[in-house]
Amino acid sequence: MTAFAPTNDSAFGPTANELPEEDISGQFVVASETFSTRGLRGADRVEKWENHNAKALLGLAAQSIDEEPLNATEINLHLPRLHFAHVSANAHVIERTAAHIRKTPADSIVMYLALFGDAFFYHRDGVRNLGPGSAIVWDSDRPFMRGFAKGLKELVLIVPKPLFAEITDDATPHRGDPFVSAFGSSRQANEFTTQIATIMSDAIREPGSRGLRETEGEVVDLLRGLFGGASATGATTQFRMLSRIAQRHLRDPNLSAAMLSGLAGMSSRQLSRIVAQEGYSVPSLLLEHRLELAMRILASRRSSTMSIGDVATFCGFSSLPHFSRSFRARYGFAPSAIDAHRDSLTQTSI
């Protein structure tokens, strides 16, 4: 496998690299800590920020722009093998030099996922300009410089090189240009990178909301997909990826197995096999997603501005009678009776 040549699989392929079934998350404690320069004396902010990063993420030098005091906050989430962080700051420049690497070698790969602010990434062989929705992967023991003219908000993923080697068959990547991927809602967004960002964001915001093993295992599997193609991932990841593609196109009434297989880059037969492993057919999966979307809309207060027909059309149903029959079969009452059920539905969702 080539470490930094993501594969556009024509098919998802057989299940691989499945994790053990037992949940061992109870053996670990998720450590979440927050550090901020706010409230510190202006002259001390950069030094304390550098000291914190040397311990929590990477040793580096920081410099604010135009002598403006550095306002920076970092939330760190330490998992057994991975490290997540959320960083926000005003305009500044950071640099990890050869001296930093000698003093604090990391033996890791770092992935920066930009949420806000334009930035440059400078390394020995060139420079990359990146904006929100861009993710860049780099060997943290190779020098680099980053600059944020308007400040930044970003997610940071640290992967130890031994683990990265298990994922990509190469623990020492980036002998040339860094690997860059897009994520978010853009047409160029990569499904694997987008989901990595989503899981990290959820875990940092609510560290106790899901099992530690599940969180880490899913990110590892998504990294396999990012660098090895979809066929390198497990069955659960494959199904979730298909579901997310379907959800993005639900409003298209022409969405079908043929269209979904084209969007996913696989044959209709392979698509059917993957969804069947989860107990669905392709039509039943699309119907469930559409009905769930319709319920979320109808159960919200903003639905008062939409007719039942508007909701049906918005959710991709080609006819109102089909929507009404399907909704009643799924939820036990007609869409028009949602007002009588809204309070109980809201309490249940909470």
- Asked whether the predicted pLDDT for residue 19 surpasses 50, the reply is no
pTM: 0.76
Q: What is the pLDDT of residue 59?
A: 94
More reliable by pLDDT, 136 or 214: 136
Q: How far apart are CA 165 and CA 159, in angstroms?
A: 10
β-bridge partners, 148: 92
**Residue tagged 């269209």 (tokens):** 259
Domains of the chain and any CATH numbers: 25-233 (2.60.120.10), 240-349 (1.10.10.60)
Give how far Cα 216 sits from Cα of 11, 210, 223, Å. Answer: 25, 10, 11
- Of 27, 70, 89, nearest to 213 by C-alpha is 27
Neighbour-count burial for 44-62, b at 16+ CB within 10 Å, e otherwise: ebbebbbebbeebbbbbeb
Q: What is the pLDDT of residue 28?
A: 53
For 299, counting Cβ atoms within 10 Å of its Cβ (0-12 exposed, 13-18 middle, 19+ buried), the class is middle
End-to-end CA distance of the chain: 45
In degrees rounded to 5, what are phi and psi of residue 50?
-65, -40
Q: How far apart are CA 316 and CA 252, in angstroms?
A: 5
pLDDT tens-digit map of 182-213: 988 777 888 889 989 999 998 998 877 677 77
Q: How far apart are CA 226 and CA 196, in angstroms?
A: 10
Q: How far apart are CA 197 and CA 133, in angstroms?
A: 10
* pLDDT, mean of residues 53-74: 91
* pLDDT, mean of residues 61-67: 88
Q: What is the pLDDT of residue 271?
A: 87
Contact 53, 72 (CB under 8 A): no
Q: What is the pLDDT of residue 228?
A: 82
Q: What is the pLDDT of residue 341?
A: 56
Q: What is the pLDDT of residue 10?
A: 38
What the block records as the tokens of 64 is: 């604010």
Contact 37, 71 (CB under 8 A): yes
Q: What is the pLDDT of residue 16?
A: 36
pLDDT tens-digit map of 293-313: 999 998 887 667 888 999 999
Q: How far apart are CA 225 and CA 214, in angstroms?
A: 16
More reliable by pLDDT, 11 or 67: 67
- Asked whether the predicted pLDDT for residue 103 surpasses 70, the reply is yes
- Asked whether the predicted pLDDT for residue 274 surpasses 50, the reply is yes
165 Cβ contact partners less than 8 Å away, ≥ 6 residues apart: 171
- Percent with pLDDT over 90 in the chain: 50
Lowest-pLDDT choice from 40-54, 89-103, 195-209: 195-209
Amino acid at 148: F
Q: How far apart are CA 313 and CA 251, in angstroms?
A: 7
Task: State the DSSP H helix or E strand holding residue 133, giving kind and residue range, or none if neither.
Answer: none
